[in-house]
């Protein structure tokens, strides 16, 4: 088991390394000068320009740049932000990571619990009005741009009806004397709208996956065999049929992260949620290349790790998959 | 005293492209306590569906006709739902399927599934259930019940899995055990052992067994009575001895001609010409008529009657009816 | 191949979702095509000072902050969005098919290298790749946008096509064609590729929906279709400060996106169901 784990981890590392390489190529291949915007924004003297070029290593030959880049990545040094010069990219990422983890984690939990439960219900009530209408609603929600939904929710729920806060993660007016419970509730109130926006617009995927997996599971012989033993329908449904759908659902979990991350760029930007997504959005506006690159790398690493964890999950969930 | 099981006019209907397909039509059976009845037929004859109907497990979109009756000690199973039906499943009637690998949930251990089946019908503590499970595994002839208890289905050999499946079928202490091609997927030697185990269990528990099989060879020496099924209908019914001595229906006779016999070795086995017709192809008249070597003119257009030949023996054929005239 | 595609479309049409989606899409397409001659030219700004006005007979969707008719902007936006998405998807399919065919047919280290690269590329969320590529420009040329969208969406298609090739690689009909002296290219294009036509069509349809959403998002971030060309995402961006006082400025473009992507996805679903009835 541990040998398989080591091999799989190595594979993941290679995939990540190739991804990093691709990102480097991407950045250098893209036409245009990363510093062009700064030159446009402020009056920069030739010396400053030369200094900046050197600082960002842009005047070196490509291979030297690559080596420096890879060396930096290996050391955990992702360079310096252009916009927030001289703040390090890694510290910026680290500061924003928790907020995204909170938002992303909440959405993941929501979608894979509510989505799974609804999907099972749809499969059991296949062809019913519930089944058909839920599919239609989920498809319509999937077709909804998250940034638009976010804006609409803010406009009505926050501004017009004053039900929930419109932006950010916490109430800036909350004084230091506020207790943990107040802080937690405040956080929750701020979390609801962005989490709802992200969750609703991506629910169709786990919903459909679970429904399909459940229908496939119901056709399997051992489900009939379980019924033949006199087990209650609930037991057959969850303990026998649903457990067999965990593997395809885990696969989805591994693939779902990129979607979640992309969505969070828009949602965090609309709600001013201080996470990686809004960091990326700001970096876009400021043409802050190192930050964008750093974020892309961090996100890729997360995707690769998620895939690795999904594989581990398979082994945990399905005894047939476990390497001897 | 009524029979343990009485099946009257069991008809199962499936919606098809043009109307309905009726894979099981007007099947009637009778089974006494402690008796073994063999239901013999080729694949496609409807014997598995018949077995499933006894448990109310006919797969969607199939339906049992409202005129059918399946009486277990006088109670009509086809009218039962919910808890009453679940009590029957496993509690009064158990079933062992052909492929243990696909009939056992792959993500749960054998012991887990067995214990679950036990507690579904008998109230006992978790520990007591575990002990009962291990004991049951031993009773079905597994050499190391404790280790089988903790094993996953794919970790066992074919024979071990089948025995485990039998144990699960017995968990609710049923009065009737349906063995649906239970040994078909096994090696010949293992097959014999498992059948012997079934026999032993039948004796110790006083169970009736419905032995569903395509193999006439299995039937001899193991079944008290035989019902032969073809194209959804029972074509002959008799005690095993008289069936083997003098098969009445042309299909049964053809079946015997097609299997090798040790006492009368022949140079050539005579297979039955043609193929088993699909439910959509069935029409009026005798369904075996296209392949029957003894067919009369009327066999193609008139449904043959079920002719009683002796107490407990009958044949669905025109030949004995005509002979009597 | 045409025959089986026709059959596929006919079967998809039998599904209610296929009819709805196809119908709505057709309407949107017609509206997009008819926009310029019949609806006002969005660039002809009238009374700018009047600002955003609500829906009225003259302006069924209202006007935006610069008093431009929203209905005509939405219709024109349809043209741009559909054109961009269509072209990008065609590009993705072409590149993806090519890579998939080569990888599946050649096998060996070529396949290994290509697929490993695809794996790595799939680890980077598509949006980030697009962002990194587009951020350099001050004003993004439309061609660049289409190229970027197209070249970032071929990875899954390549896996799909590769799968089909691997499945059919050793089928008798392939061996027969090769035995008759067909070049690899001919075998791939005329014999193996058509078998993937069905799944490719489904992937294409769903891909169009994804690209429309992506392009709208990019336009919202300022990186997509550049003003004054109307784009739905750009209209939502412009509507952001007005969302409370003049909600129609954001509502209609957003609804247009939802309707278009939904109908495209419905068509894709119907095609999928026609291909594999059991998944319905």
Tens-place pLDDT, residues A117-144: 999 999 999 889 999 899 989 999 999 9
Q: What is the pLDDT of residue C36?
A: 65
Contact C117 A285 (CB under 8 A): no
pLDDT bracket for residue A38 (50, 70, 90): low
Q: What percent of chain A has pLDDT above 70?
A: 88
Q: What is the pLDDT of residue A200?
A: 94
pLDDT bracket for residue C203 (50, 70, 90): confident
- Average confidence score pLDDT of chain A: 84
Location of structure tokens 């119908």 = C23
The number of folded domains in chain C is 1
* C64 located within any domain: no
Give which of B103, B122, B175 to mutate to test A binding, by max A Cβ within 10 Å.
Answer: B103
* C63 located within any domain: no
Contact A240 B108 (CB under 8 A): yes
Flag whether pLDDT at B131 surpasses 90. Answer: yes
Location of structure tokens 């002839």 = B141
Contacts of C83 (CB under 8 A, 6+ apart): none
Of the listed ranges A103-117, B162-176, C264-278, the one predicted with least confidence: C264-278
Residue C142 touches partner A, C-beta closer than 8 Å: no
* C48 located within any domain: no
Asked whether the whole model's pTM tops 0.90, one would answer no
Q: How close is the nearest chain B Cα to the Cα of A219, in Å?
A: 9
Tens-place pLDDT, residues C31-77: 787 766 555 555 555 666 666 777 777 777 888 777 778 888 888 88
Nearest by CB to C216, which of A21, A145, A307? Answer: A145
Contact B105 A224 (CB under 8 A): no
CATH number at residue C260: 1.10.3720.10
Residue B325 vs residue A292, higher pLDDT: A292
Q: What is the pLDDT of residue C46?
A: 60
Per-residue pLDDT, averaged over A291-306, amounts to 89
Where in the sequence is the domain holding B300, given as residue range(s)? 5-33+41-80+178-186+212-323
Contacts of C243 (CB under 8 A, 6+ apart): A151, A152, A154, A155, A159, C249, C250
* C21 located within any domain: yes
Per-residue pLDDT, averaged over A17-30, amounts to 81
Contact A18 C117 (CB under 8 A): yes
Contact A36 C132 (CB under 8 A): no
Rounded CA separation C126/C149 (Å): 9
Q: What percent of chain C has pLDDT above 70?
A: 91
Per-residue pLDDT, averaged over A53-68, amounts to 68
pLDDT bracket for residue B161 (50, 70, 90): very high
Residue B37 tokens, joined: 């009845």
Of the listed ranges A27-31, A266-270, C220-224, the one predicted with least confidence: A27-31
Give which of A134, A201, A262, A276 to mutate to test C binding, by max C Cβ within 10 Å.
Answer: A262
Tens-place pLDDT, residues A139-153: 999 999 999 999 999
Tens-place pLDDT, residues A238-290: 999 999 898 888 888 877 888 888 899 999 999 999 999 999 998 888 888 88
Tens-place pLDDT, residues A186-202: 888 889 999 999 999 99
Flag whether pLDDT at B89 surpasses 90. Answer: yes
Q: With 0-12 CB in 10 A as exposed, 13-18 as middle and 19+ as buried, what is A53? A: middle
The subunits that touch chain A, with at least 3 C-beta pairs less than 8 Å apart, are: B, C
Per-residue pLDDT, averaged over A229-238, amounts to 93
* B198 located within any domain: no
Residue A310 touches partner C, C-beta closer than 8 Å: no
- The candidate with the shortest Cα–Cα distance to B167, out of B145, B147, B192, is B145
Q: What is the pLDDT of residue A33?
A: 62
Work out the number of other CB atoms within 10 angstroms of the CB of residue A33.
Answer: 12
Residue A8 touches partner C, C-beta closer than 8 Å: no
Flag whether pLDDT at A216 surpasses 70. Answer: yes
Distance between first and last Cα of chain C? 24
Do A and C make contact, counting contact as 3+ CB pairs within 8 angstroms?
yes
Flag whether pLDDT at A308 surpasses 90. Answer: no
Give which of B83, B105, B121, B177 to mutate to test A binding, by max A Cβ within 10 Å.
Answer: B105
Residue C126 touches partner A, C-beta closer than 8 Å: yes
* C36 located within any domain: yes
pLDDT bracket for residue C194 (50, 70, 90): confident
CB contacts of A323 in chain B (<8 Å) are: none
Per-residue pLDDT, averaged over A208-216, amounts to 92
* C67 located within any domain: no
Of the listed ranges A26-30, B131-135, C159-163, the one predicted with least confidence: A26-30
Q: What is the pLDDT of residue C48?
A: 61
pLDDT bracket for residue C3 (50, 70, 90): low
Coil, strand, or helix at residue A199? helix
Q: What is the pLDDT of residue B136?
A: 92
ipTM of the complex: 0.86
CATH number at residue B232: 3.40.50.300
Flag whether pLDDT at B277 surpasses 80. Answer: no
CB contacts of A293 in chain C (<8 Å) are: 132
Flag whether pLDDT at A175 surpasses 80. Answer: no
Which chain A residue has the Cα nearest residue C264?
Answer: A143
* B57 located within any domain: yes
* B250 located within any domain: yes
* B310 located within any domain: yes
The number of folded domains in chain B is 1
The subunits that touch chain B, with at least 3 C-beta pairs less than 8 Å apart, are: A
* C253 located within any domain: yes
Do A and B make contact, counting contact as 3+ CB pairs within 8 angstroms?
yes
Where in the sequence is the domain holding C150, given as residue range(s)? 5-41+80-279
* B160 located within any domain: no
**Measured CA distances, A14 to A138, A298, A318, C100, C124 (Å):** 37, 15, 26, 22, 14
Size of interface A-B (CB pairs under 8 A): 77
Per-residue pLDDT, averaged over C239-263, amounts to 89
Give which of A216, A217, A225 to mutate to test B binding, by max B Cβ within 10 Å.
Answer: A225
Contacts of A284 (CB under 8 A, 6+ apart): A292, C131, C135, C221, C222, C223
């Amino acid at each position: 088991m541990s040998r398989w784990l080591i091999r799989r981890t190595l594979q993941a590392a290679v995939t990540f390394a190739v991804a990093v390489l691709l990102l480097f190529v991407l950045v250098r291949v893209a036409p245009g000068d990363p510093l062009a915007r700064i030159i446009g924004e402020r009056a920069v003297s030739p010396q400053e320009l030369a200094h900046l070029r050197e600082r960002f290593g842009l005047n070196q030959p490509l291979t030297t740049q690559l080596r420096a880049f890879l060396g930096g990545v290996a050391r955990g040094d992702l360079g310096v932000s252009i916009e927030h010069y001289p703040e390090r990219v890694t510290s910026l990422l680290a500061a924003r990571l928790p907020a995204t983890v909170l938002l992303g984690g909440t959405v993941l939990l929501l979608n894979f619990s509510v989505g799974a439960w609804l999907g099972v219900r749809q499969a059991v009530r296949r062809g019913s009005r519930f089944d058909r209408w839920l599919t239609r609603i989920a498809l319509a929600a999937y077709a909804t741009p998250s940034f638009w939904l976010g804006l609409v929710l803010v406009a009505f729920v926050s501004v017009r009806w004053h039900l929930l806060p419109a932006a950010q993660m916490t109430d800036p007016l909350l004084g230091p004397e506020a207790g943990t419970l107040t802080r937690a509730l405040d956080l929750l109130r701020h979390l609801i709208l962005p989490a709802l926006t992200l969750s609703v617009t991506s629910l169709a995927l786990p919903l459909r996956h679970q429904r399909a997996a459940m229908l496939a599971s119901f056709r399997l012989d051992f489900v009939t065999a379980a019924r033949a033993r006199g087990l209650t329908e609930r037991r057959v449904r969850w303990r026998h049929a649903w457990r067999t759908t965990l593997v395809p659902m885990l696969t989805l979990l591994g693939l779902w992260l990129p979607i979640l991350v992309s969505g969070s760029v828009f949602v965090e930007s609309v709600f001013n949620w201080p996470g990686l997504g809004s960091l990326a959005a700001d970096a876009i506006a400021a043409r802050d290349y190192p930050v964008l690159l750093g974020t892309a790398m961090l996100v890729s690493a997360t995707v690769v790790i998620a895939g690795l964890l999904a594989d581990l999950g398979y082994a945990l969930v399905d005894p047939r998959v476990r390497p001897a | 005293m009524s029979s343990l099981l009485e099946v009257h006019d069991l008809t199962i209907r499936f919606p098809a492209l043009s109307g309905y397909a009726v894979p099981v039509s007007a099947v009637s059976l009778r089974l006494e306590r402690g008796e073994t009845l063999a239901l013999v037929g080729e694949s496609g004859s409807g014997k598995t569906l018949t077995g499933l109907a006894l448990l109310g497990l006919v797969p969607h979109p199939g339906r049992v006709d409202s005129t059918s009756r399946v009486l277990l000690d006088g109670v009509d199973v086809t009218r039962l739902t919910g808890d009453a039906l679940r009590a029957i499943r496993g509690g009064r009637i158990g079933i062992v399927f052909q492929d243990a690998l696909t009939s056992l949930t792959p993500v749960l251990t054998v012991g887990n599934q067995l214990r679950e089946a036990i507690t579904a019908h008998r109230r006992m503590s978790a520990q007591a259930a575990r002990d009962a499970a291990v004991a049951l595994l031993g009773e079905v002839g597994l050499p190391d019940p404790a280790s089988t208890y903790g094993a996953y289905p794919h970790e066992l050999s074919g024979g071990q899995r089948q025995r485990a499946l039998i144990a699960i079928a017995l968990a609710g202490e049923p009065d009737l055990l349906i063995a649906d091609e239970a040994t078909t997927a096994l090696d010949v030697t293992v097959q014999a052992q498992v059948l012997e185990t079934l026999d032993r269990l039948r004796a110790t528990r006083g169970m009736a067994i419905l032995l569903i099989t395509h193999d006439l060879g299995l039937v001899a020496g193991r079944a008290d009575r035989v019902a032969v099924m073809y194209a959804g209908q029972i074509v002959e019914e008799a005690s095993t001895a008289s069936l083997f001595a003098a098969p009445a229906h042309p299909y049964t006779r053809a079946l015997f001609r097609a299997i090798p016999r040790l006492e009368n070795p022949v140079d050539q086995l005579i297979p039955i010409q043609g193929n088993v017709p699909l439910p959509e192809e069935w029409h009026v008249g005798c369904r075996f008529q296209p392949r029957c070597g003894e067919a009369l003119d009327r066999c193609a257009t008139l449904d043959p009657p079920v002719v009683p030949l002796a107490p407990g023996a009958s044949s669905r054929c025109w030949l004995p009816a005509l002979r009597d005239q | 191949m045409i025959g089986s595609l026709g059959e596929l479309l006919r079967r998809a049409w039998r599904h209610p979702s296929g009819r709805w989606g196809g119908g709505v899409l057709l309407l949107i397409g017609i509206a997009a095509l008819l926009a310029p001659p019949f609806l006002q030219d969005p660039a002809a700004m009238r009374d700018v000072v009047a600002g955003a006005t609500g829906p009225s007979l003259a302006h069924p969707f209202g006007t935006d902050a610069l008093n431009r008719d929203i209905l005509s902007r939405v219709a024109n936006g349809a043209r741009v969005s559909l054109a961009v998405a269509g072209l990008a998807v065609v590009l993705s399919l072409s590149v993806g098919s090519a890579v998939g065919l080569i990888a599946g047919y050649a096998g060996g280290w070529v396949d290994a290298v290509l697929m490993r690269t695809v794996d790595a590329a799939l680890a980077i969320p598509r949006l980030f790749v697009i962002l990194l590529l587009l951020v350099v420009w001050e004003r993004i040329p439309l061609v660049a946008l289409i190229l970027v969208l197209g070249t970032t969406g071929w990875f899954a298609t390549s896996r799909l096509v590769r799968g089909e090739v691997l499945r059919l690689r050793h089928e008798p009909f392939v061996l027969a064609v090769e035995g008759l002296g067909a070049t690899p290219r001919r075998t791939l294009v005329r014999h193996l590729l058509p078998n993937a036509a069905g799944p490719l069509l489904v992937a294409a349809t769903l891909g169009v929906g994804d690209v429309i959403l992506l392009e709208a998002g990019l336009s919202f971030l300022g990186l997509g279709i550049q003003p004054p060309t109307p784009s739905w995402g750009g209209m939502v961006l412009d509507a952001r400060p007005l969302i409370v006082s003049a909600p129609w400025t954001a509502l209609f473009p957003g609804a247009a996106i939802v309707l278009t992507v939904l109908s495209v996805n419905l068509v894709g679903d119907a095609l999928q169901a026609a291909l594999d009835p059991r998944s319905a």
